[in-house]
Chain A
Amino acid sequence: MDFFEHQDVARRQTGRLVLLFTLAVALLIVAAYLVVAGVIVWSDAHRFRSVWDPQLLAAVGLGTLAVVSGGCLYKLAQLRGGGAAIAEHLGGTLLNAGNCDARGRMLLNIVDEMALASGLRSPVVYLLRDEGGINAFAAGWTAEDAVIGVTQGALERLDRDQLQGVIAHEFSHILNGDMRLNLRLVGLLHGILVLGLVGYTVLRSMRVRRIGGSRKGGGAVAAVLAIALGLIIVGFGGTLLGNLIQAAVCRQREFLADASAVQFTRNPGGIAGALKVIGSSGAGSELTSPQAGEARHMVFARGQKASLASPFATHPPLAERIRRIDPQWDGSFAPAAVAVRAAPAAPPPGGATRTAGVLDPQRVVGLVGQLSAARLAEAGSALAELPPVVTDAIGEPYGARAVVCSLILSLDASTQARQWELLAEAEPGLRDEVRRLRPSVVDLGTRWRLPLVDLCVAPLRALTPAQWEAFRALLDALIEADRRVELFEWSLRRILLRVTPVQARPGRPAPPVQDLRAVRDECALLLSSLARAGGTSPQAAFDVAARALPLSGLALLPEDRCAPERLDAALDALSALVPLRKRELIAACAAGVLADERVSVEEAECFRAVADALGCPVPPDVERLSSAARTAGR
């Protein structure tokens, strides 16, 4: 299965979730009805006419529905804050190179390596400082507002390989589209859990009233008390049902994430080691935050004590997860002295056919959302070779802004002079920082341009909304200083356009589009823009690309209709396509880019920016394709 199929499965799981949830609510209504009817019989048997009382059922049903939907809506409104809201809710603090120790920086480094190797913009990392257990989670609506949360216990007790395994597991959740599913689950579960809460609240308020109250209407009080008790019972049943749903939807995704983590790192010892440490350490993977209950299906390992029977478990038992990764495991959680190293794994996807299938668009599609161990190792050494000035700068927001500005500065002397003026007007301190950093950034060459932007995304998200707005205005001014938007500038702006500061609410995702015909004009515009970006023969490139799409009669648009603003709008519309249609579109784009058997760095950047805008991270392999294609073409 490739990236798109995994995403598709995750999407379909959402349907299953809604079905299970509806069933659970129906069961809850029946249970509530039985409890209320029981109370009536108990209080006054004469008033009860028959077991079937449609009026009573309607009242109870409406009441239950009101409570459940109220709870869901409240939670979903809160979750609109995205991944950052969840991490903050669980007590996380934003981690950056400036506010953490060496181990914290190691964690940030692991995350950066993985982001670089997968083509994903770096997610923000939250540290749950008060949690001693070993756990982690990924949360967010899309890859843009994704955050990764790691507990203090995980940071302290896992070694680098193990931590890398855990982070790879979380990256797999981001790449496989599990996060949105998990957030929906949190919202729906809250609706079910809230019933028990109501019963509890009523019970308590009754007790308060009883102290100062009279004996008048004692029967009514007793009835209310009984109903409250009933609600608690129903609420408990709801919790059980909720657990069942969590388990039904999440368990397979956990196995998938474990398997992906092994594939990404080619090191089964890492993630298996982490699971073993959880099994052996006293603290386990417990989350102590009172908010942890509703989030436990989305953490790395089962948060609460494993007292419930296994059908209720959101995560497969530790032992089974370890055995699937490491079949030779002897079942002891004692710290393994010898790490399990790299079972002879399958060759990296397409690795063997690197030279043969270079120009096959399907191979490019196969790369989307994948992370190969080879790329990961490369990313690690590439990051290590960055000059320290640059590494320090991209570790925190202040420097990250300067790095992005350095990338934009034009080579043309008069434009550059204008840009320096703009910088000085906006913030003299920033200008000095850019002046300091620019030589090192320029030395890195064009190949590093977009990866650097991706790495800057996480620190930039730490800006406050006001600071972010000011910075974006400055960027726009810098880009338009020469009155024209170059391809790279467009790509860069396209990526930064979708940066969501953690303190701002992420935009509401558009409703999914099932049919390519609904976005026909947008497809034509996108393929035309890419064909024109490619250079030599736009018509030929466009024809190749258009043939790859199941749409007939697409025509190459004239240059003046391919303005950047129009392309931005088109990409926004196209990003709502369902995963399997996105695959067709990406394949068509790749076919167009590869049509002339030459891929420039700009073209590859543009392709990656387009794919990124569609929510499909493309690993840096595409740039290798470009160099390989050039050698092949010679």
Chain B
Amino acid sequence: MSTALLVLVVLLALGLLLVIVIVGIYNRLVTLKNRFANAFAQIEVQLKRRYDLIPNLVETAKGYLKHERETLEAVIAARNQAVAGLGRAAQTPTDPAAIKALNTAEAGLSGALGRLFAVAEAYPDLKANQNMMAIQEELTSTENKVSFARQAYNDAVTAYNTYKQTFPPVVVAGMFGHGQDAALLEFEDKAAIAQPPKVAF
């Protein structure tokens, strides 16, 4: 009888160990997911500030770029798309599709802004405008902050994805609704675009 009891006790202990390990993995997955969701909140603040600056930029440029209406409209359109993308991503920062959509919208905005700055090269008056210079300065510093916050977000996402792919979490992650990898934020380095291209001799 006592051997039966002993077996029972051992089984109980083993079962308990398993429960403890699984609960531990689940808690860790939740923690890591919360972390990158919180990191997204940080980048959201900076991106919003960036999107708020762009209408000012266009308003200032309008007076000088009378014949470039299309370029300016493209910037505004791309900006609005990015705002919408950010709104969606902010609601579900754990959804890879939303993050990827934001990546695309951001790329569109960068392209449009790049074209605007390229066109502006031909208008020295615009480049010398105090207002324009201030906005450009603020855009650059906001973009630096965006890239810093993006780095933090990507670090957190990488930590989550890596943990999910290790053993033993890889066995149970799918069961707890952590099957999908989280998406990285991949923007271009826009600091380079805001500044005139360097010419090397």
Q: B9–A464 contact, CB under 8 A?
A: no
Q: Which of A59, A94, A99 contacts B6 (CB 8 A)?
A: A59
Let me know if A88 and B147 touch, CB within 8 A.
no
The answer to whether B191 touches A94, judged by C-beta atoms less than 8 angstroms apart, is: no
B134 CB–A CB distance under 8 Å: no
| Number of residue pairs spanning A and B whose beta carbons lie under 8 angstroms apart | 101
A interface bracket (residues with beta carbon within 8 Å of B): 35 or more
Candidates A194, A429, A466; contact of B148 at CB < 8 Å = A429
Q: Which of A59, A71, A430 contacts B5 (CB 8 A)?
A: A59
**Nearest opposing residue in chain A for B39, CB measure:** A464
Question: Contact at B147–A429, with CB atoms within 8 Å?
Answer: yes
Chain B nearest CB, measured from A467 CB (Å):
6
| A428 touching B8 in the complex, CB below 8 Å, given contacts A194-B16, A398-B148 | no
* B27 lies within 8 A of chain A by Cβ: yes
List residues of B (127-163) whose CB comes within 8 Å of A's CBs. Answer: 140-141, 143-145, 147-149, 151-152, 155-156, 159
Q: Does A47 contact B (CB under 8 A)?
A: yes
Judge whether B156 and A198 touch: CB under 8 Å.
no
Q: Which of B17-25, B117-125, B165-173 lies at the interface with chain A?
A: B17-25
Assess the B144–A433 pair: CB atoms within 8 A.
yes
Do the beta carbons of B148 and A74 come within 8 Å of each other? no
Question: Are the CB atoms of A99 and B9 closer together than 8 Å?
Answer: no
Q: Is B77 an interface residue (CB 8 A)?
A: no
Which residue of A is nearest B17, CB measured?
A70
**In the complex, which residue of chain A has the Cβ closest to the Cβ of B19?**
A201
Interface size band for B: 35 or more
Interface of B is mostly: helix
A467 touches B152 (CB 8 A): yes
State whether B2 touches A56 (Cβ < 8 A). Answer: yes
Q: Closest Cβ of chain A: how far from B34's Cβ, in Å? A: 6
Q: Which A residues touch B155, using CB under 8 A?
A: 464-467
Binds B, one of A61-69, A155-163, A329-337, A408-416: A61-69
**A252 in contact (CB, < 8 A):** no
**Which of A93, A98, A430, A503 lies in contact with B45, CB distance below 8 A?**
A98
**Nearest A residue to B35, CB-CB:** A503
Known: A463-B152, A503-B159. A66 touches B13 (CB 8 A): yes
The yes or no answer to A472 lying at the interface (CB within 8 A) is: no
* A288 contacts chain B at the CB level, 8 A cutoff: no
Complex contact A59–B145 (CB within 8 A):
no
CA distance in complex: A386, B12 (Å): 61
**Distance of A429 Cα from B142 Cα, bound (Å):** 10
Smallest Cβ distance from B78 to chain A, in angstroms?
A: 23
Which residues of A are found within 8 Å of B5, using beta-carbon distances? Answer: 36, 56, 59
Q: Which residues in A have their C-beta under 8 angstroms from that of B147?
A: 429
| B38 lies within 8 A of chain A by Cβ | yes
Known A74-B24, A464-B155, A467-B151; judge A67-B2 contact (CB<8 A).
Answer: no
Which listed residue, A40, A71, A89, A224, touches B20 by the CB 8 Å rule?
A: A71
Q: How far is the CA of A590 from the CA of B157 in the complex (A)?
A: 48
Note all chain A residues with C-beta closer than 8 A to B9.
59-60, 62-63, 66
Structural contact, B34 and A88, CB atoms closer than 8 A: yes
> Is A229 an interface residue, CB under 8 A from the partner?
no
User: In the complex the two chains form, is B27's CB within 8 Å of A98's CB?
Assistant: no
Q: Find out whether the CB atom of A464 lies under 8 angstroms from the CB atom of B152.
A: yes
Digitize B22-64: 1 where CB-to-A-CB distance is under 8 Å, 0 elsewhere.
0010010001001100110110010000000000000000000
- Assuming the contacts A59-B6, A78-B24, asked whether A432 and B17 have C-beta atoms less than 8 A apart, the reply is no
Is A47 within 8 A of B6, CB to CB? no
Does A202 lie at the interface of the complex (its beta carbon under 8 Å from any beta carbon of B)? Answer: yes
Q: Return the contact of A67 from the options B13, B27, B148 (Cβ within 8 A).
A: B13
Residue of B nearest to A463 (CB): B152
A89 to B30, CA, bound (A): 9
A47, B155: Cα distance in complex, Å: 62
- A224-B7 Cα distance, complex, nearest whole Å: 12
**Interface hub of A78, A85, A99, A398 (most chain B Cβ within 10 A):** A398
| Interface pairs (10), CB distance under 8 Å | A59-B5, A66-B16, A85-B31, A201-B15, A398-B144, A398-B145, A429-B145, A432-B141, A464-B39, A466-B151
Where the two chains meet, the residues of A that have a C-beta atom closer than 8 Å to any C-beta of B are 36, 40, 47, 55-56, 59-60, 62-63, 66-67, 70-71, 74, 77-78, 85, 88-89, 93-94, 98-99, 194, 197-198, 201-202, 224, 227, 397-398, 428-430, 432-433, 436, 463-467, 503
Given A98-B42, A99-B45; 12 other pairs, CB 8 A cutoff: A56-B5, A59-B6, A60-B9, A66-B16, A93-B34, A93-B41, A397-B152, A429-B144, A430-B144, A464-B39, A467-B148, A467-B155
